[in-house]
Amino acid sequence: MADFFPALEPKHEEMLANAPMYFVATAAPTGHVNLSPKGLDTLRILSPSRVAYLDLTGSGNETAAHLLQSNRITLMACSFTRTALILRIYGTARSIQPGQPEWSELIALFPQITGTRQIFDIAIETVQTSCGYGVPQMELVAQRDTLVKWAKGKTAQELEEYRATNNLSSIDSFPTGLQSPSDQ
């Protein structure tokens, strides 16, 4: 039922381009495993062996903390259409933050979204597809705009203060690598 590929093939890229959401999983050697749903226009295919996603300010920053402990990451997308499919990307990732040399090149690939925090750059090691026969068929009504509205209601200073309070360490107290405003 499962097939493995060394890189994304055109049919995989098409599936990802049409996926309204995907999931990101990371784990440090100890502590909680993190699994986060992602939506909006935040995923980019950079090559058959590389993808990136735009990370927005949120309640936590587990992915960044885990990647500093162990750079392993898994992305998963499901087809909710009539054609069943699950696609997993296994790889390694790193956080690219504003001010780093790669930032300008990568951020230009995404729409401007208030609350942007970092970009995760993922080197693909393996792609796996499986049937997805147990995934329900559903229709997308709309992307939620609540997170973007929340961020637009904050000044740049307020977003920095929020990140300093909520995003500098994981729920297991691992550092995330984000700089607090006082460190910059």
- Give per-residue pLDDT as tens, 83-141: 899 999 999 999 999 999 999 999 999 999 999 999 999 999 999 999 998 998 999 99
pLDDT level of residue 69 (50, 70, 90 thresholds): very high
Rg (CA), the chain: 17
Query: pTM here?
Result: 0.92
Dist CA 79 CA 124 (whole Å): 20
Residue 17: Cβ within 10 Å count? 10
Mean predicted lDDT score pLDDT of the chain: 94
Residue 183 lies in a domain: no
Quick one: what percent of the chain has pLDDT higher than 70? 97
Mean pLDDT (whole number) for 50-58: 96
Tell me what pLDDT residue 179 has.
73
pLDDT surpassing 90 at residue 10: yes
DSSP three-state, residue 5: strand
pLDDT level of residue 82 (50, 70, 90 thresholds): confident
Q: Output the six-digit token pair for 7.
A: 């890189």
DSSP three-state, residue 28: coil
CATH number of residue 163's parent domain: 2.30.110.10
Residue 92 lies in a domain: yes
DSSP three-state, residue 106: helix
Residue 182 lies in a domain: no
- In 9-154, the DSSP E strands lie at 22-27, 33-38, 43-47, 50-56, 72-78, 86-96, 116-130
Tell me what pLDDT residue 44 has.
98
Residue 66 lies in a domain: yes
57-75 burial, b for 16+ CB within 10 Å, e for fewer?
Answer: bbeebbbbbbbebeebbbb
pLDDT surpassing 60 at residue 181: no
Residue 15: Cβ within 10 Å count? 20
pLDDT level of residue 144 (50, 70, 90 thresholds): very high
Quick one: what percent of the chain has pLDDT higher than 90? 89
User: Cβ distance 96 to 88 under 8 Å?
Assistant: no
Tell me what pLDDT residue 182 has.
54
Cβ neighbours for 11, distance < 8 A, ≥ 6 positions apart = none
Total domains in the fold of the chain: 1
Residue 156 lies in a domain: yes
Domain extent for 99: 3-177
Residue 31 lies in a domain: yes
